[in-house]
Structure 1
Amino acid sequence: MSNSPFATPSPADWRALAEAALKDRDLASLVHLDADGLDLRPLYAAANAGEAVTAPRPSHADGRAWDLRILVEGDDAAALNALALAQLEGGAASLLVRGGVTADSDTLVQTLAGVQLELAEVALDAGLDGATAADALAVAAKGSPRARLAFHMDPVSAFVGQGGGARPLADYLELAGNTAARHAEAYPDARAFLASGRVVHEAGGTAAQELGYLLANAVALTDAAGRAGLSPAQAFQRMVLGVSLDQSYFDGLAKVRALRLMWRTLTRAWGAESEAVIEARSSRRMLAARDAWPNLLRLTAAGFAGAVGGADVIVLDAFSRAAGMPDAFALRQARNTQLILMEEAHLGRVDDPAAGSWFLDTRTRDLAEAGWAAFRQIEREGGLVASVEGGGLQSRVAKAREALVTGYARGDAHLIGVTRFVDEDPRPAHVTDEADDAPPPPDYRCEPLSPLRLAADLETGETAR
């Protein structure tokens, strides 16, 4: 048996084989452009890639690689309390609470009865009522300085997501800043702000648009915190960055890594360099309702992207969420998907496993640069508030949304179970109807970034087999 080493092929060797396989087609036909106009090449090597990128998550979450967070939402405090306790006992590390239970302290206290806030972090998703919900959570924590709280105030996303509010957008930002400053002494470790790009993603925006919006959101929140008396360093300490992940796991993990690089650059420019705390939530625009079971594959891919990309917190939706409010089984699957990724696949055992991949490092760097360009465009328009009120942001996202929907409609992209491998008689998933929580008509309006669900039209029309 020969002990000679394997030959190392050169780019020229690959080129010769590729040209032979393509026959009359040009090599350039293998290069594709993504939604941001970034090129995706067929081969990445030392000859066409830059230096390695390193973007590991800075710390472990109480001995785990990341914080396994479960979303519990609804208006019934007693039912949500039982659900929350079951999820924590089953392996979840923290909770994200959404719905009518965040409206006042009495209801939120009932919802969190038995939850040890010094051990299990509780985050909120209360939209434009974020300041009120933050006050309610502060009451529920009973003044314990060790309570792990994430108020998650994100007024700009809530305002543009529903097309306005009862007061001007600038007033919501001021309220968020003042609320954060008011609770800073009692809860010095609380995370007051969520600078999320989720509203852009769910409306059909590109990865670069999401990242650019996210940074502009963080700047707007930091400015509001400064006017309330908090320094940039204090604001950064109290901020979580929110990103959405869909089934495109390579792009997803590169997006998380790119965000960490961008945040380092932004905070360094403020003279208060800070490590990013990134909460990755699964995309709802990718979920199907007619046949919910393939969503398990998409959600697993999103969880994989968050874990390998280095997210500090991962939240996966229930697979049946597009059809209605999930039952206990669906929520258990959302939790167990993460547990399997963490404890059986051991995805968190290696810090930044994507580092050193020519493709993933190049993709990370390209997304960071494109996201930074999108951020600078918003800043040139006068900042996020001016961009939202003037409609510049929304017009760019609308173009991306149209291109995305068109791509799926003509078959350039596919959803398993919707446009490919369609089950003619899908097994139903048990859900209950979602409460109609439509807000009253806003007094102060802007062009909305309405959420998109890609499968909605495809499920009702003719689908490709």
Structure 2
Amino acid sequence: MTSAERLSLAADFPAATRDQWRELVRGVLRKSGVDPDIAPDEVEAALASQTYDGFAVRPLYTADDPAPEAGFPGLPPFVRGGAPDGRVLAGWDVRQRHADPDPATTSRAILADLEHGGTSLWLVVGAGGLPGDVLADVLADVYVDLAPVTLDAGRDAVAAADTLLAVHADKGVADSEVRGNLGADPLGLRARTGEPADLDVAVEVARRAQGHPNLRAIVADALPYHEAGSSDGQELGCAIATGVAYLRALTGAGLAVDEAARRLEFRFAATADQFATIAKLRAARRLWARVTEVCGASVRSAPQHAVTSSTMMTRRDPWVNMLRTTVACFAAGVGGADAVTVLPFDSAIGLPDAFARRIARNTHSILVEESKVAGVIDPAGGSWYVERHTDELARAGWAVFTEIERAGGLVRAFDSGLVDEKIAATRTARTARFAAGEESITGVTVFPNEDEKPLNRKPAPPVPGGGLPRVRYAEPFESKLEGS
């Protein structure tokens, strides 16, 4: 077939211009009474919305909107994904979280997850989760070479890492087959609890991972900043600053930069704002690629673990949480996350029951197996909006990161109050928008069910606090409804 014979779907239609679009939208705004006197060149500004990072999301993006070249999947700057084939072959890692302190209950839940779609485990050990001395018992029936384990052990990170490695050894797993993450994150612990950050813990855990080429040792967890109310750019900036602090600690202790970079994994929040989540994950890979380039590392990318946001979850009308987490999981998959955790829809009430855990697992199954979300490499690539939003978020995150670096690094930025101050300003602005009705929470601030019968769940174990606050934006409005 010659080029002249090829079908051109738009051949019989005149090319549309931006001015034509403006005039059509202007007509709608005038007739609806929104702004009868609006001028054509004011249309886009009138419909734009401002992000908490200071740039606008406009109503229209075209090929004329500049954005840097995103490159190719699996190659720097990894905007289009950390692997050449994306997640096409096997989908993303379905990583289910377990924090019930009762060993028998957790053992049953782990086996149910792994039998019905889960592919790895995220175990909370110590404060807020399982007692450390039962970890081996809980994993007794788990094929840890097939289902990698990621730990979240807080101040007990070294002991938990030793226990997990002993479990692998007792099961006869070869060192090269040990995968997962030992989960050290003293900076995340500092953000949550206010306790001094002992970076020697990260060094000790990283040393234990040596000899296991496929085992990660450290998580640069951005969830504490998201849960405190940060913007996407602030979450990115704090995550990159965390990663850099760990690189400094590990190389300062004698590890080669490639060895240090190979042990890191990043954790980000996925929200119901699907485009912001997609852009955030793409921007994060770009920023980390730049950091590792400057450090001279040949290991330029790091895995991403996306977790559906806890700040968007509600106690009232919790069934709506299924919709929120589905959109967030979709966005995480499209954004190229390597592992995704969907929090059960009742997680804001207490410890999830078996039905809620099943729904969380099935969310992955529907998106991967039925909707084939993972069947396309970087499905958002080429979208003028996504490419521009990725670039703007990357710039916002880099600005936060460099401000932290100028303050002397993340530890000093904590101590000076810089991190808390910046996030508090965003949290206040966001809360004000909810209170003013400019943003809404379905089932709480809009369409509340006054006759709703509350769900009852087993209380979750207390989580250490004292550092950055943990917020759920629905909480104050739920309290008003329950008190009315």
TM-score normalised by L of structure 1? 0.92
Distance 2:349 2:268 in 1: 23
Report SS of the residue matched to 1:69. strand
Q: Does 1:55 align with 2:114?
A: no
- Specify every segment of 5 or more residues in structure 2 that has no aligned partner in the other structure, as ranges: 1-8, 31-36, 71-78
Report SS of the residue matched to 1:365. helix
Which 10-residue stretch deviates more, 28-37 or 452-461? 28-37
Question: Given that residues 181 and 229 in structure 1 are in contact (C-alpha distance below 8 angstroms), is that contact kept between their aligned partners in structure 2?
Answer: no
Deviations 1:106-158 (A, max 9, x none): 41110111111111110011223222221221122116311223112111111
Q: Does 1:140 align with 2:167?
A: yes
Distance 1:95 1:426 in 2: 34
What is the correspondence of 1:256-335 to structure 2 with a 5 Å cutoff?
256-273=281-298, 274-335=300-361
- Once superposed, which parts of structure 1, at least 4 consecutive aligned residues long, lie more than 4 Å away? 59-62
Which 10-residue stretch deviates more, 45-54 or 382-391? 45-54
Deviations 1:14-56 (A, max 9, x none): 1222333333133222222110111111111122333553512
Shift in Å at residue 437 of structure 1? Answer: 5.0
Partner of 1:46: 63
Report SS of the residue matched to 2:64. helix
The counterpart of 1:208, out of the listed 210, 222, 233, is 233
- Specify every segment of 5 or more residues in structure 1 that has no aligned partner in the other structure, as ranges: 440-446
Distance 2:166 2:332 in 1: 32
Distance 2:205 2:82 in 1: 29
Partner of 1:194: 219
The counterpart of 1:394, out of the listed 412, 420, 425, is 420
What do you get for the CA RMSD once the two structures are aligned? 2.0
Alpha-carbon spacing, 1:43–1:118, altered in 2? closer, same or farther (3 Å): same
- Identical columns (%): 36
Amino acid of the residue matched to residue 419 of structure 1?
A: T
Partner of 1:5: 12
Distance 2:358 2:81 in 1: 29
Distance 1:239 1:117 in 2: 20
The counterpart of 2:104, out of the listed 57, 74, 78, is 78
Distance 1:304 1:62 in 2: 15
Partner of 2:52: 35
Distance 2:11 2:294 in 1: 53
Partner of 1:121: 148
| Alignment: residue pair count | 448
Partner of 1:407: 433
Partner of 2:157: 130
Deviations 1:288-307 (A, max 9, x none): 01221100011011101101
Deviations 1:54-102 (A, max 9, x none): 5124156694121011111122222211210111011100010114465
Distance 2:245 2:413 in 1: 12
The counterpart of 1:450, out of the listed 457, 463, 469, is 469
Question: Given that residues 262 and 302 in structure 2 are in contact (C-alpha distance below 8 angstroms), is that contact kept between their aligned partners in structure 1?
Answer: no
The counterpart of 1:459, out of the listed 478, 481, 484, is 478
Alpha-carbon spacing, 1:365–1:91, altered in 2? closer, same or farther (3 Å): same
Question: Given that residues 127 and 155 in structure 1 are in contact (C-alpha distance below 8 angstroms), is that contact kept between their aligned partners in structure 2?
Answer: yes
Report SS of the residue matched to 1:84. helix
Q: Does 1:157 align with 2:163?
A: no
Q: Does 1:220 align with 2:227?
A: no
The counterpart of 2:271, out of the listed 231, 246, 255, is 246
The counterpart of 2:210, out of the listed 161, 179, 184, is 184
TM-score normalised by L of structure 2? 0.88
Question: Given that residues 184 and 205 in structure 2 are in contact (C-alpha distance below 8 angstroms), is that contact kept between their aligned partners in structure 1?
Answer: no
Alpha-carbon spacing, 1:150–1:343, altered in 2? closer, same or farther (3 Å): same
Q: Does 1:358 align with 2:384?
A: yes
Report SS of the residue matched to 1:432. coil
Distance 1:428 1:366 in 2: 41
